[in-house]
Structure 1
Amino acid sequence: MDQLSSPLRLLAFCGSLRKQSFNRMALEALQLRANTLFQNELEIYIFDELGNLPFFNPDLELAFEAGDLSSLQTEEKSLAALSHLMHAMAQADGLIIASPEYAHGVTGLIKNTLDWLVSGESFVDMPLMLINTSTRAHHAQDALTEIVTTMSGRVIQEASLCLPLLGSQIRSTTDLITSDLVGQLDNKLGLYIKALNQSA
């Protein structure tokens, strides 16, 4: 496994709100493997507030950037989640997205999150690792690649991961990291870190 040039902070988005989401399991497994392989040199932070973000609204975006929200009625929790998202993105060295496929497309949760980030400088040239937990869900993966590339993100194709979890016997994060699939997690994480080091 490659040595890190400096401590790295990776941000992760899960496109599902289900408690037993395969995509959440994949991110948690990757988080655990990162701790094992890189210890204190790599942190994967799973952002848990995507469901609290307000629906994207250009008027709210402008008011948020100007720091004047008095004219718009938005819940405090939504504004806090939005502020947290922007701060987390600004601190991130890379972004990992794991999302299911809904009707041959990305989930509304992920699309809304990306809409909030589309005009931000922090997304430009952001290295991305994309995770898919179903071999049948290539439409969403293709759509997600198109979206983030249009946003000037940089998908690390060799680090993209397709885990055949749908229809498997895996029911928990522990099941995943103790399965034969853990080698794929380690390999793709290593390729992602190598790409990050090369672009540093």
Structure 2
Amino acid sequence: MTLRPLFLYALCGSLRQVSTSRKLLEALRLGCPEDITIEICDLIGDLPIFNPDNEGERTPAIVEEFAGNIRKADGLIVSCPEYAHGIPGGFKNALDWLVSRDEIPFKPLMFAHASHRGDLVLEQLAEVLRTMSLRIVSEAFLRLPIAGKSDELQAEILSGARDDGLLSASLSRFADAISAEG
């Protein structure tokens, strides 16, 4: 699959630790091939509200840490719910901190979506992320509809997707796209 180990940084659009978006990212992290490491970002909820006056030398340390993790990543995974037909505010705030920075342009990105709906947020995110010059790898898109299901059924679906190779197949397609880019 890949020529070298890959480090992927996963961004969750929900701040809830038990959100379905986070559960999907955890399942990907636990079920990823040996040559891929996934770290799930836990900084988004602690980022201050974006203010362009606080960029440059005034950039908060937590923003620098967030951006540094993105810089180190070979690719990003985004899993984001739809809130009121839009991008959750905390997640959009995190993206706003990255707009004028150099860590993000041309970084490969994979969507992992935990709902059978929410296409509006996917369209909005795609527009924002393309505007920020990220490279969305559409062939790696993963939709695993676990939202709205009981915790037991969610665990069963996630386990089945891991055992059936659905999760690793999406990750492999993403890794192949990253490796092909060189």
Identity of matched residues, %: 38
Count of residues paired in the alignment: 181
Q: Normalised by the size of structure 1, how large is the TM-score?
A: 0.84
Amino acid at match of 1:54: P
The 1:179–1:170 alpha-carbon spacing in structure 2 relative to 1, beyond 3 Å, is farther
1:170–1:176 Cα contact (<8 Å) kept: no
Partner of 1:142: 123
Match among 21, 41, 63 for residue 47 of structure 1? 41
1:64 Cα deviation (Å)? 2.6
- 1:112 & 1:147 partners in 2: Cα distance? 12
Amino acid at match of 1:125: F
The 1:24–1:171 alpha-carbon spacing in structure 2 relative to 1, beyond 3 Å, is farther
- 1:113 & 1:11 partners in 2: Cα distance? 14
1:154 Cα deviation (Å)? 0.4
1:25–1:172 Cα contact (<8 Å) kept: no
Partner of 1:74: none
- 1:126 & 1:31 partners in 2: Cα distance? 19
Match among 48, 56, 61 for residue 62 of structure 1? 56
The 1:87–1:173 alpha-carbon spacing in structure 2 relative to 1, beyond 3 Å, is farther
Partner of 1:72: none
1:149 Cα deviation (Å)? 0.3
- 2:91 & 2:140 partners in 1: Cα distance? 20
Partner of 2:6: 8
Amino acid at match of 2:43: E
**Secondary structure of 1:178 counterpart:** helix
Q: Which has the larger radius of gyration?
A: 1
**Deviations along 1:138-181, whole A, 9 cap, x unmatched?**
00011000100010000000111111112334448854442246
- 1:80 & 1:176 partners in 2: Cα distance? 39
Aligned: 1:85 with 2:83: no
Amino acid at match of 1:25: K
1:134–1:164 Cα contact (<8 Å) kept: yes
Unaligned runs of 5+ in 2: none
Partner of 1:68: none
Amino acid at match of 1:128: L
**Deviations along 1:5-41, whole A, 9 cap, x unmatched?**
112111111111112100000001000111xx22xx3
Q: Normalised by the size of structure 2, how large is the TM-score?
A: 0.92
What RMSD in Å do the two structures reach over aligned CA positions?
1.8
- 2:75 & 2:153 partners in 1: Cα distance? 25
- 2:43 & 2:154 partners in 1: Cα distance? 20
Aligned: 1:104 with 2:98: no
- 1:129 & 1:170 partners in 2: Cα distance? 25
2:104–2:132 Cα contact (<8 Å) kept: yes
Amino acid at match of 1:118: V
**Deviations along 1:176-198, whole A, 9 cap, x unmatched?**
44224653212211110110110
